[in-house]
Structure 1
Amino acid sequence: MVPPLALDIDGTLTTSTGRIDPRVFELLPAWDAPIVFATGKAFPYPVALAHFLGRDEHVIAENGGVTHVAGETTILGDPDAAWAVVEAFRERGGEIGWGDGDTVNRWRETEVALSIDADEALLREVAAAAGGDVEVVDTGYAFHVKSPAVSKGRGLRRAADLLEIEPGSFVAIGDSENDVSTFGVAGESYAVANADAAAREAADVVLAESYMDGTAGVLADLRARRGDDE
């Protein structure tokens, strides 16, 4: 049988321009094992993706701040601490960077995401002054101000427990430092070629192909492996 999957979204299921690759709708609906979508995006995004794929809504959102698996939702993290850091950042001239009508954070429950164009040095300085209550994670698409007590990896352990699956049976695919904890939980881990240095260092395999090209190749190999086993 094919293994359960823990899949990042941005940079992993997308094209280089940030669009969902259409192969997602060819390859994932019929995958005959659980799929957990693990992302830094707010809760509604992975739920919507699972819904339109016809998959069970097994998701880890906000870098582990929100999990929804087997119908059970768990919210972790301290959004007040994250917002306090962001407000201090703004008082010192920093900008969140999304402009008016910020939909990036509108439905975010446990953290704050800032544009990748935000002043990283200032943001990290302000976060460090918070004394360990928050951390800044660079996903390549945004800077996430979040509780260090939550991660995608911890979310995957919880998901595996609720699904009654061994965490080590999962195959994880991702592209950035927020996937490192997921790679540490899954039995196999793959970093697509566009992955950052942290993800590449943590993965079992660094793929030769980028974005969904790399992910599609892994899925094909896993199916072929199943055929060999049968």
Structure 2
Amino acid sequence: MTADPPLVLDVDGTLTRPDKWGLDPRVFDPLREWDAPVVIATGKAFPYPVALCHFVGIPQLVVAENGGVVYTGDDVLFTADREAARAVAREYEAAGHSLGWGSEDTVNRWRETEVAVAIDRPDGPLREIAAEHGLEVVDTGYAYHVKDPAPNKGDGVRTIAERVGFDLEEAVAVGDSENDVSTFEVVGRSYAVANADDAAKDAADEVLEGIHADGTLTLLERLRDSR
């Protein structure tokens, strides 16, 4: 019997409920029982995927903030500086726009390398200001992420594979958004859930029939059955 392949999993849109809000608890047991490395690669702020790994009970292998932060289980690597993104946020707000998260802004409070803006905020002026600072805006379907264009999820996954010691050609990635394209490019097999955007679907080796966690769970069962 062959071993499970290493997994690289996005969070929002991939491990979530079909209504888009909240993790689907059905993913917990399959991830805990997986007998190969599981990398959580997300646009969320660094503490969130670390907490996810902690509560699921799997090693903390994390690519956060679209590649801005990489945690290999031993070292935390920062691949971008948040100051430019903060400057973009200040100018955006000075132009009369809100980031969209309320006064406490827990979405950005612990973010180390980028700034996230709510998806219902105007992105035109955000993109213009970001470009003036040499940054890009990535639309994940859940937020606009203002980030350094250099780091990405794929680079972070490659770093973890090198540190942990698994073969990326054997790895499987699942995602739903344009920020997962770089991940799809570094693994052996890539899958987009049915709710994925066009960029993710075009880059994936296969588009799954199920949406959100339904698609991911069906794939995990298929991979297990094929061992």
Fold similarity call, TM over 0.5: yes
Q: How far is 1:166 from its partner?
A: 1.9
Query: Of residues 57, 60, 64 in structure 2, which corresponds to 1:61?
Result: 64
Residues of 2 paired with 1:128 and 1:105: CA distance? 20
1:103-135 CA deviation, whole Å, 9 max, x = no partner?
A: 0000000000010011111111212222xx210
Q: How far is 1:27 from its partner?
A: 1.1
Query: Of residues 13, 25, 44 in structure 1, which corresponds to 2:28?
Result: 25
Q: How far is 1:225 from its partner?
A: 1.1
The answer for the alignment partner of 1:104 in structure 2 is: 107
Q: How far is 1:182 from its partner?
A: 0.2
Residues of 2 paired with 1:43 and 1:127: CA distance? 22
Contact 1:4 1:34 (8 Å CA) reproduced: yes
Residues of 2 paired with 1:90 and 1:102: CA distance? 14
The answer for the alignment partner of 1:187 in structure 2 is: 188
The answer for the alignment partner of 1:176 in structure 2 is: 177
> Structure 1 stretch 4-13 or stretch 20-29: which is displaced more?
20-29
Contact 1:88 1:126 (8 Å CA) reproduced: yes
Q: How far is 1:218 from its partner?
A: 0.7
Letter in 1 for 2:13: G
Q: How far is 1:100 from its partner?
A: 1.2
Residues of 2 paired with 1:191 and 1:145: CA distance? 23
Residues of 2 paired with 1:202 and 1:34: CA distance? 23
Q: Is 1:136 equivalent to 2:137 in the alignment?
A: yes
The answer for the alignment partner of 2:217 in structure 1 is: 216
Q: Is 1:203 equivalent to 2:216 in the alignment?
A: no
SS in 1 for 2:145: strand
Residues of 2 paired with 1:8 and 1:65: CA distance? 15
Q: Counterparts in 2 of 1:5-154, with a 5 A limit?
A: 5-17=7-19, 18-130=21-133, 133-154=134-155
Residues of 1 paired with 2:81 and 2:121: CA distance? 22
Q: How far is 1:19 from its partner?
A: 1.3
List gaps (5 residues or longer) in structure 1.
none
Residues of 1 paired with 2:43 and 2:23: CA distance? 15
Q: How far is 1:198 from its partner?
A: 0.7
SS in 2 for 1:113: strand
Runs of 4+ in 1 over 4 A off after TM superposition: none
Contact 1:94 1:122 (8 Å CA) reproduced: no
Contact 1:192 1:208 (8 Å CA) reproduced: yes
Q: How far is 1:12 from its partner?
A: 0.4
Q: How far is 1:221 from its partner?
A: 0.9
List gaps (5 residues or longer) in structure 2.
none
Q: How far is 1:89 from its partner?
A: 1.4
Residues of 1 paired with 2:157 and 2:225: CA distance? 25
Residues of 2 paired with 1:66 and 1:51: CA distance? 17
Matched residues, percent identical? 56
TM-score, structure 1 length as denominator?
0.95
Residues of 1 paired with 2:81 and 2:110: CA distance? 15
Letter in 2 for 1:9: V
Residues of 2 paired with 1:47 and 1:125: CA distance? 33
SS in 2 for 1:223: helix
Aligned length: 224
